[in-house]
Structure 1
Amino acid sequence: MDFERILTTVAGELFAPTTAAYALAAIGLNIHFGLTGLLNFGQAGFMLLGAYGFAVSTIAGFPIWAALLVAVACSTVFALVLGIPTLKLRGDYLAIVTIAAAEIVRIVGRSTALTDVTGASSGLRGDSYKETFHSLSPFGDGSSTIGPFTYSNSFSNSWWLRVVAWVVVALACLLVWRLMRSPWGRVLKGIREDEDAVRSLGKNVYAYKMQALVLGGVIGSIAGILYVLPRAVQPDSMGRPMTFWVWTILLLGGAATVFGPVLGSMLFWSVLMLIRVVGRDVIPSSVMSTAQIEQFGWIVVGVTLMLLVIFRPQGILGDKKELAINVR
């Protein structure tokens, strides 16, 4: 085996744009679940809306700042429409509703009635909406090599996208850190522990839940933008499995922590890449094809999630006391 190539490939996943996008989505989910105790299983819906809002508005000729505002507005409206009738639900009921809402977004996105807008099941090509982002790059054309890593300076899976993505993740971590130590964040933690007690103190629990749902959804929509900048907007790639991967990342790193989602995303994608690369080199094609090795990687992810929930539900950085959530 070429260990240098394997290590370089795996290390590249640690700071890849996809890793940053999932870390940001998990940070948004952390506001929902880790801080507030909302069982949101529809984070992929927020990501898809953000991706569509950005891509469609960019194709329509909007500047990048306006396209970002459209993406944020789409996720905000979705959170309000989703939250108004459902935030009084608890536990499993809220989880079921959010799964269904995210599936509605995906199915509407792939509907042939909206082919001219969303591209239906084929989605939107990346070269139709990436130019405004690429044009902001200060790195110019061509590619650059830093250590063993060589990437394009500005286009698609580039150094420019990596810098922007991880700066956004760092800002989101700073935001969560400040919120967790603010009066607003302490109210959210109180709601997570016992919302009836918080309500008895005169706090509007419903309003706080709505604010948390909107904020986490907005962060999820920005994660959706980062996710599609190195690829195309394809609705079927942002369905139920994506939400479960975000949950795995959050539980792996630790809910109700600042850096748990970031650590979880890095470990998730680097270990998955390690399994794939080593599997291709070690396992003969007569035993397991490349496609089967890919599926085997996801099987390992599923088993890992099961073991996490059973033996260390608080995650790597988490505190078990933080998971004493009232979900009656």
Structure 2
Amino acid sequence: MDIISALQIAIAQLIGPSAIFYALLAIGLNLHFGYAGLLNFGQIAFALLGGYGVGIMAVNYDQPLWLGAIIGIAAAGMLAVVLGLPTLRLRADYLAIVTIAASEILRLVFRSTSTDDFTHSTNGIYAYAGSFFSISPFDNGKQYSFFGVKFLGGDLWSMVVGWIVVGLLCLMVYLLVRSPWGRVLKAVREDEDAARSLGKNAYFFKMQALVLGGCIGGLAGVFNAFATQSINPDFYSTAQTFFAYGALILGGAATVFGPVLGAMLFWFLLAVPDALLRQATSGDDPLLNLSAQQVGAFRYVLLGLAIILMMVFRPQGLLGNKREVQLDA
């Protein structure tokens, strides 16, 4: 087996557009779960609205991409308000139930044939981000190689923009959580009654965190819509939210860079066994007798084992602090 080739493929995934998408999802979840103690199991719903905001405005109404991005992020923020109003005064599990239900409802509505004229249902929306790639300094169809790691020009441009956005969001989170607002938010997470006794409006702070994290989730959807030029409702399944949680667990909740490191590690751990197993099952005399579907499933088994081991031996994640991950449910 060619281990060097497998590592090159894995490094491409480590810093590629998919890692950026999950890093953005996990940064939003980190504000919810890590800093505010909110159980949001529907983060992908915010990404769905962000992505469809771009696609619908560009294709249906021939509007510029930046306007679609603003509308998509605003729609994600409004969804957070709608979900938070009836649930944030109740126990944490109510928000979890409502968010996971809302994400599935939105996905099914957007894939329904009754909304085909608006959302294009299961056909999806494609090829609308030409203006984004037109300003790229790279040749979109050309393949670039860096120490054997290969990227298409379009992906390289998406990565440059995406990592800049991730860096700016990390800076924003760093400043927020070290501000008086962030200290109150962590106080609400650790002991809501104590925060209330000091005159802090816990409901108001939790709503702000929910909206801000939801808008970041919407931004993740916007980025994915730009990078892939493809929006399909079946992509926005509940599993994507739990992948983002997996990234957050690996990197460490309630840390600034934990979600980013976790997303990179998540895709690296998926890509390495995938590349090695596909090499082992190819050729005239394969080492393993596994189908392509079995290889795809087995890599998730290995990733799941890695997350379980992380939860057992380092539950706070690679960058986390045990005191920061206690959740008062």
TM (normalized to structure 1)? 0.94
TM-fit CA distance, 1:140 = 4.6
CA offsets per residue over residues 180-225 of structure 1, 9 Å max, x none? Answer: 1100000110011011111111111111111101100111111112
Distance in 2 (alpha carbons) for counterparts of 1:15 and 1:66: 28
Task: Identify which range, 37-46 or 226-235, moves more after superposition.
Answer: 226-235
Q: What are the residue-to-residue correspondences of 1:87-102 with 2, within 5 Å?
A: 87-102=88-103
CA offsets per residue over residues 40-94 of structure 1, 9 Å max, x none? Answer: 0110111111111111112121112211111111101111111111111223222
Q: What are the residue-to-residue correspondences of 1:121-140 with 2, within 5 Å?
A: 121-125=122-126, 127=127, 129-140=128-139
CA shift in 2, pair 1:192/1:132, >3 Å: same
Q: Show the counterpart of 1:317.
A: 319
Does the residue aligned with 1:207 lie in a helix, a strand or coil? helix
Q: What are the residue-to-residue correspondences of 1:47-126 with 2, within 5 Å?
A: 47-59=47-59, 60-125=61-126
Q: Show the counterpart of 1:10.
A: 10
TM-fit CA distance, 1:174 = 0.6
CA shift in 2, pair 1:45/1:91, >3 Å: same
Distance in 2 (alpha carbons) for counterparts of 1:227 and 1:112: 24
Distance in 2 (alpha carbons) for counterparts of 1:211 and 1:185: 11
How many residues matched?
322
TM (normalized to structure 2)? 0.93
The match for 1:159 among 143, 156, 159 is: 156
Assess if the C-alpha contact under 8 Å between 2:133 and 2:140 holds in 1. Answer: no
Measured on the aligned residues, the alpha-carbon RMSD in Å equals 1.6
CA shift in 2, pair 1:145/1:288, >3 Å: closer
Q: What are the residue-to-residue correspondences of 1:260-275 with 2, within 5 Å?
A: 260-275=258-273
Distance in 1 (alpha carbons) for counterparts of 2:108 and 2:69: 23
Distance in 2 (alpha carbons) for counterparts of 1:113 and 1:10: 41
Q: Show the counterpart of 1:173.
A: 170
TM-fit CA distance, 1:145 = 3.3
Does the residue aligned with 2:62 lie in a helix, a strand or coil? coil
CA shift in 2, pair 1:169/1:320, >3 Å: same
Distance in 2 (alpha carbons) for counterparts of 1:231 and 1:133: 10
The match for 1:298 among 297, 300, 307 is: 300
TM-fit CA distance, 1:3 = 2.5
Distance in 2 (alpha carbons) for counterparts of 1:121 and 1:64: 22
Distance in 1 (alpha carbons) for counterparts of 2:3 and 2:295: 19
Distance in 2 (alpha carbons) for counterparts of 1:141 and 1:223: 22
Segments of 5+ residues of structure 1 without an aligned counterpart are: none
Distance in 2 (alpha carbons) for counterparts of 1:141 and 1:93: 46
Distance in 1 (alpha carbons) for counterparts of 2:313 and 2:150: 39
CA offsets per residue over residues 212-249 of structure 1, 9 Å max, x none? Answer: 01100111111112223225211111111101100000
